[in-house]
Amino acid sequence: MPGMSMIEAINDALDVALARRREVVIFGQDVGFFGGVFRATENLQHRYGKSRVFDAPISEGGIVGAAVGLGAYGKRPVIEIQFADYIYPATDQLISEAARLRYRSAGEWWCPITVRAPYGGGIYGGQTHSQSPEGIFSHVAGLKTVIPSTPSDAKGLLLAAIEDDDPVLFFEPKRLYNGPFDGHHDSPVTTWTGHPDAEVAEGFYTVPLGSARIARPGQDVTILAYGTMVHVAIAAAAEAGLDAEVIDLRTLVPLDTGTIFNSVLKTGHCAIVHEATRTSGFGAELAALVQRHCFYALEAPIERITGWDTPYPHAFEWEYFPGPARIAETLRRMVESR
C-alpha cells in the first residue's frame, strides 16, 4: 500500500470514483483546470474531460442547487465548496432541498450528492477561512456529516459518501491535508510519511458511514474527538500520563453510539473535544447521549474542551484551539476526582 497525504488520498478517491461510475461528476470553484485551491482535484479534468470535471461560478447556492438537480436526474455530483466558511449561501439549498427531497417525494426522488469542503483552522486563515460549522448541519434531518482524520479513512469515507444515496457533507480538516499535527503551534511541521494511517489501499474500498474507530485504546478515560482533534487528543493523553481511550467518531451523522457507550461504560469518564465553539456545538449532543445511556457508570461529570464562544480570533488562533495542555489538565482533574 503506498503512503499518501490526506490531500493525495482524496484525489485518489475522486479518481477511483470517476473511473468506476459514469454518473460521477465533479464541479466547484477552480476545481477544473486549476485543480482546486488545495489541489484535491489536480489532473482530474485532464483525465476525464471538461464534461465531468469542470469549474463553476462563484455562487455556492447555484453550485448546490445544480447538484440537487443533477442528483435527482441520476448523476452523482461531487461538489467542492472552496472553504467551509463559504457554505452559508448554500444552506437553503442544502436544508430545504437536498435534505428534504427523499422525504418530500415519498422516496420517488433522491439526492446522492457529496459536498466537500476544507474545514477548520490552523493555517492562519482568519475569520473567513477557518470555521467549523458541523454543528449547524448535523442538526438537519436528511443530511449526513463526515469528518476524517487520516488519509486511509479520508479515501474510504469519501468513496462511501459518493456511493450513498443521500446528501453527505464531507468536511476535510485542512490542517491535516499534508500531515498530522499535535496542536503545538511551535512544533515542527510533520508529514504523513511513515505514518501507519497514511498507508492507503489502491483501488476501490469504503469505510462504512456510522462506524467510529478506536484511535488509541485505554482504560482510564474516554476522549471523543474527530478530525484534527483526534491527533491533539492522542498527544494530550500522553502529556497527561493517562491510559486514555481516544475514539475517532469519523461520522457525526450517522453516529456510532455503540462504540462510544462501550468505551464510557469501561472507563467511567468521558471528555469531548472539538475545535468548534462550545455553545450548541456537536459536543452537547454527545454529552446528552452519554449522560442518558452511561449515567450509572460515570465517576465524574462529562467534560467538553472546545473552541471559544467568539468569532474566530486570528490573533489568538493557538489559544482558541483545544491544545494538549488544556485537554491534559481537564483529563487529570476528571480522574483525580474519583
pLDDT of residue 336: 85
What's the confidence (pLDDT) of residue 197? 86
CA neighbours within 13 Å on the CB side: how many for 274? 28
CATH 3.40.50.920 at 213-336, yes or no: yes
Give yes or no on whether 6-198 and 213-336 have one common fold: yes
pLDDT at 189: 56
Residue among 46, 129, 195, 269 flagged as catalytic: 129
Q: Would residue 73 be called left, alpha or beta, if left means φ above 0 and alpha means ψ between -120 and 50 degrees?
A: alpha
pTM to 2 decimal places: 0.96
Q: In which residue ranges of the chain is pLDDT below 50?
A: 188
User: In angstroms, what CA-CA distances link 208 with 142, 164, 249, 250, 330?
Assistant: 17, 10, 12, 10, 32
Per-residue pLDDT at 185: 59
Rounded Cα–Cα distance for residues 272 and 233 (Å): 9
Whether 129 is catalytic: yes
Rounded CA-CA distance 87/29 in Å is: 12
Yes or no: domain 6-198 corresponds to CATH 3.40.50.970 = yes
Query: N- to C-terminal Cα distance for the chain?
Result: 45
Pairing of strands 144-146, 168-173: parallel
Cα angle, residue 175 at apex, residues 185 and 12 outer, rounded to 5°: 150
pLDDT of residue 182: 64
Order of strands across the sheet that contains 251-253: 53-55, 24-28, 76-80, 114-119, 168-173, 144-146, 251-253
**For residue 58, what is the DSSP state?**
S
Number of continuous H segments (helices) and E segments (strands) in the chain: 12, 12
Domain ranges of the chain: 6-198, 213-336
Nearest to 101 by CA among 146, 67, 125, 127: 67
